[in-house]
């Protein structure tokens, strides 16, 4: 007798009360995948909510975000769906609420996952979870509304650097075409996400660029934003990120690190790479993770972390030059 393994869709179909969670400090792909899925499941008459205790106000133009919940109401529920989150410690839902789920499924595009899911749909080659989710919805003949198309488009646009990073493929453009055909509001998404910046954040950018630290002849660039600085500029915690790319795009940079102090006195490190240095490997050595070009971790000791990052980059460069000589 053969026992057929249940699919992600089987778990969705047999569940009624569903919560969707994504990673803390959600980005466009996290918010896009969580809310596109929520709208799809509502159309399937599921009792479904997104758990998202906080998010940057730049996403406030998306009206469904008002309905996001902080906590699970029930003592028990059928299904938890995690999107765009590979690390159980970074899911935007409390551990006690995770434990109330009968089953857990995950939609992801990270290489490794510490989420103990009952079933998963993971493709690390996919540039955005929203691309993977689009295919899942099409494969299951689920109608994609204009609102869902806008969320999916936003996730693909943000995680591909507006269709430019190397995991972007012709298929990504085709899916973007399909989403625009379905009515995705790409004009508003681009205007709000790529083309508008708060004044306090513009001042933070100026600080980061004026105070960057340059190492290894410009191959490594770093900047530190303390809580005192962020408070003095009036930057909220959800808006304090997104600075690493400005360091990364400076000519000759192989690895950029932006380090910012969080509410709890710990420091969050965001790494960005040009592709030669694997930032996920560096982040993993500090207990974090991510992708080759974008990764992150937490630390208590900024000076020691900076030294270690420089040493790790030197090791990679020496290894490469020995290999090529």
Establish if 28 lies at the interface with ligand 5GP (CB under 6 A). no
Residues 6+ apart with CB under 8 A from 302: 224, 259, 267
Q: What is the rounded distance in angstroms from the CA atom of residue 67 to the CA atom of residue 113?
A: 28
Among 182, 290, 299, 313, the residue binding ligand 5GP under the rule CB under 6 A is 290
Establish if 294 lies at the interface with ligand 5GP (CB under 6 A). yes
Q: Residue for token digits 């993971």?
A: 122
Closest residue (Cβ) to ligand 5GP?
Answer: 296
Among 54, 145, 169, 298, the residue binding ligand 5GP under the rule CB under 6 A is 298
Q: How far is the CB of 145 from ligand 5GP (least distance, A)?
A: 27
Q: What binding mask, one character per residue, do residues 17-56 give for Mn ion by CB under 5 A, x or -?
A: ------------x---------------------------
Torsion of CA 132, 126, 22, 202, to 10 degrees: -120
The residue (of 51 and 223) whose beta carbon lies closer to Mn ion is 51
Among the listed ranges 1-9, 193-201, 295-303, 304-312, the one in contact with ligand 5GP (CB under 6 A) is 295-303
Establish if 159 lies at the interface with Mn ion (CB under 5 A). yes
- Which residue, 211, 210, 149, 209, is CA-closest to 181? 149
Q: How many helices (H) and strands (E) does the chain have?
A: 12, 11
Give how far the C-alpha of residue 53 lies from the chain's centroid of Cα atoms, to the nearest Å.
16
With 0-12 CB in 10 A as exposed, 13-18 as middle and 19+ as buried, what is 202?
exposed
Among 38, 80, 81, 90, the residue binding ligand 5GP under the rule CB under 6 A is 90
Chain positions 216 to 275 lying near ligand 5GP, rule: CB under 6 A, are 241, 244, 270
């Amino acid at each position: 007798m053969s026992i057929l393994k249940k699919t992600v869709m089987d778990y969705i179909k047999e569940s009624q009360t569903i919560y969707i969670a994504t990673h803390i400090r959600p980005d466009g792909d996290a918010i896009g995948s969580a809310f596109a899925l929520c709208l799809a499941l509502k159309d399937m008459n599921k009792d479904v909510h997104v758990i998202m205790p906080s998010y940057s106000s730049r996403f406030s133009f998306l009206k469904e975000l008002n309905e996001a919940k902080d906590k699970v109401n029930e003592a028990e529920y059928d299904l938890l769906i995690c999107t765009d989150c590979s690390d159980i410690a970074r899911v935007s839902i409390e551990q006690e609420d995770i434990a109330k789920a009968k089953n857990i499924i995950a939609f992801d595009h990270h290489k490794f996952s510490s989420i103990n899911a009952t079933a998963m749909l993971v493709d690390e080659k996919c540039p955005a979870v929203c691309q993977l989710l689009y295919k899942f919805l099409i494969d299951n003949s689920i109608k994609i509304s204009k609102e869902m198309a806008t969320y999916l488009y936003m996730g693909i646009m943000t995680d591909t650097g507006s269709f430019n990073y190397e995991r972007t493929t012709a298929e990504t453009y085709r899916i973007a075409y399909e989403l625009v055909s379905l009515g995705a509001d790409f004009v508003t998404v681009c205007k709000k996400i790529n083309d508008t910046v708060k004044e306090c954040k513009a001042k933070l950018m100026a600080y980061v660029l004026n105070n960057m630290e340059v190492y290894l002849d410009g191959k490594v660039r770093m900047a530190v934003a303390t809580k005192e600085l962020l408070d003095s500029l009036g930057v909220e915690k959800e808006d304090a990120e997104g600075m690493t790319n400005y360091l990364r795009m400076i000519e000759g940079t192989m690895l950029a690190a932006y380090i910012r102090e969080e509410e709890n006195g710990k420091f969050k490190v965001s790494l960005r790479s040009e592709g030669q240095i694997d930032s996920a490997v560096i982040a993993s050595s500090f207990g974090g993770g991510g992708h080759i070009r974008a990764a992150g971790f937490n630390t208590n000791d900024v000076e020691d972390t900076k030294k270690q990052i420089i040493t790790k980059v030197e090791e990679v460069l020496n290894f490469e030059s020995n290999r090529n000589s």
